[in-house]
Every structure is written in C-alpha cells, then in structure tokens.
A = this chain, B = another copy of it.
Amino acid sequence: MHSAVNPSISVDCVIFGFDGKDLMVLLIDLNRKNAANPSCREHKLPGSLILENEEIDAAANRTLLELTGLSDVYLRQFGVFSDPERIRKPEDLQWIADTYGVKVSRIVTITYYALVKIDKSILQPTVEGEVGWHRVQDIRNLAFDHKRILVNALELLTRQLLNEPIAFELLQKRFSVRQLQNLYEAILGFEIDNRNFRKKVLKFPFLKLLDEKEKLVSHKPARLYKFDKVAYEKEIKKSKLQLNFIRFF
C-alpha cells in the first residue's frame, strides 16, 4: 500500500502566468466531456489527493509537473481550506469518486500558488478534462470553493509582488524594464510612473544588464536584463542586520 491515496487530504494549485498583458491562471474544464450540458460548464483549479508517504509539497509539484511539464518552478503553500461542507454538492462528490476511485467524505485541501513562464509550459491533455489558461479578471465562478481559494491567492500574490522579487518567475529569462513594469501594472491594477519605476528597479544590484537588445520592433529597441538570483541572495544577507522599521499600512 505504498502508493495508496490518502482520502482526506488534497492539494490545489493556483498556477499563475503572464502573457505580456494580463495575469492568467490555469484551469481545468470539468464539463469538457459532457458538453451536452454547456450551461453548467464549470472550471476548477488543478489539484490532487495526496498519496500516503508523500510530502504535501511533493504532491503539489507532482500536480504541476503532470499539467505543465514543468518541474523547477516557484511554488508556495499559502492556505488550508477545511470547511467540512466545502464539497457538498452530490455531483461534486460523484466526480471525485469517479476520478480517484475512492469513496471520500470530507477533504481538507492545502493550497499552493505557482508562478510559471507561460511560454515554457507544455500543456498536457489530461484524462480529467481540458486544461487551459484563462484571464484572471474574466473568471466569475469556479467549482467547489475554488473561487475563494483564487481570491486568497491573488491577495497574497500582490502582497508578495511588493516585498519579494517574484515578478521574474513570471517573465522570460531576458526581459525589458517595460515588460517588468507592465507586469506590475497588470497585477497591482494601477499605472506607475515610468521614470520613477526605472530609477527604482535599475538600482537593484541583482538586475543585470545584458548585451542584447530587442529585435524586430519598429521603434527604439529596449535593452534586455536578467534577474541574478545569486546576487539577490547575497544582498538579502547583507541587509538582514539593518533596521527596517514599523510600517502598518
């Protein structure tokens, strides 16, 4: 029984991507098969019951790998959803029974958010239904309590974006300052002064200027940068000692 599933614990992953313009999230179309009923067409977050003897982080990574073909991505646990009634509709319970072949009563789910470079992910058609990217702002409702989970993930994402260099996980390896700014504006939802933004980010010692420029654009080509993780780690250590003061809002 070394790969039996644990029927009471699952992971759900909010997988974010950025297409250069909008924040996207990867969803699974539940009603792909029975398209006979398109009115109740619903989507869900990718997720899975965990296996016995499997770390929960490992279960999240497994889910991600199965869906996108990516293995070395930013992944962060951010919540636990445990309402005994969170999966209550008979058809929801039926769907789970059909998918995993186990009878379940109550599932506690551990939630993760992942940041991937859309261009690198190779979507695998899965047995569960079709997987696809959706603009976050278009999403009205999701199956189970997944809308709540998404909203929570978004909140954390915006907070993290201001406090940690996670933007680079969503951009390609080489990027222009303008692309970085577009990402901030898309996620934060307001415009940022371009001159001040450059002044700020170009001061970061872990933003390395490359020799390359944009190609094939009908205007002045932008210079390209990359994020130097090693330099960032060094910077963190230096700054550990300094006094960052209280800021409650």
Contact = CB atoms under 8 A, between A and B. Distances in A.
A179 to B, nearest CB: 15
A54 B84 contact: yes
Interface stretch (A12-20, A25-33, A239-247): A239-247
Interface string A221-249: 00000000000100110010001111111
Interface residues of A, number: 42
A161 B134 CA distance: 37
Contacts of A8: 6, 8-9
A82 B106 contact: no
A163 interface: yes
Given A6-B8, A9-B9, A106 B53 contact: yes
Nearest to A161: B246
A83 interface: yes
Contacts of A162: 244-247
Interface in A187-239: 190, 192, 200-201, 204, 232, 235-236, 239
The copy count of this chain in the complex is 2
Contacts of A201: 246
A69 interface: no
A56 B109 CA distance: 11
Contact of A52 (B56, B77, B106, B163): B106
A164 interface: yes
Given A8-B9, A108-B9, A248 B200 contact: no
A165 interface: yes
30 contacts: A8-B8, A9-B9, A50-B82, A52-B84, A52-B106, A53-B106, A54-B84, A55-B83, A55-B84, A56-B80, A56-B82, A56-B108, A57-B82, A77-B79, A77-B80, A80-B80, A80-B110, A162-B244, A162-B245, A162-B246, A162-B247, A163-B246, A163-B248, A164-B248, A192-B243, A201-B246, A204-B248, A235-B248, A235-B249, A236-B249
Ranked nearest first, the 8 interchain pairs of A and B with the lowest CB-CB distance are A56-B82, A239-B249, A53-B84, A55-B82, A165-B248, A80-B110, A162-B246, A236-B249
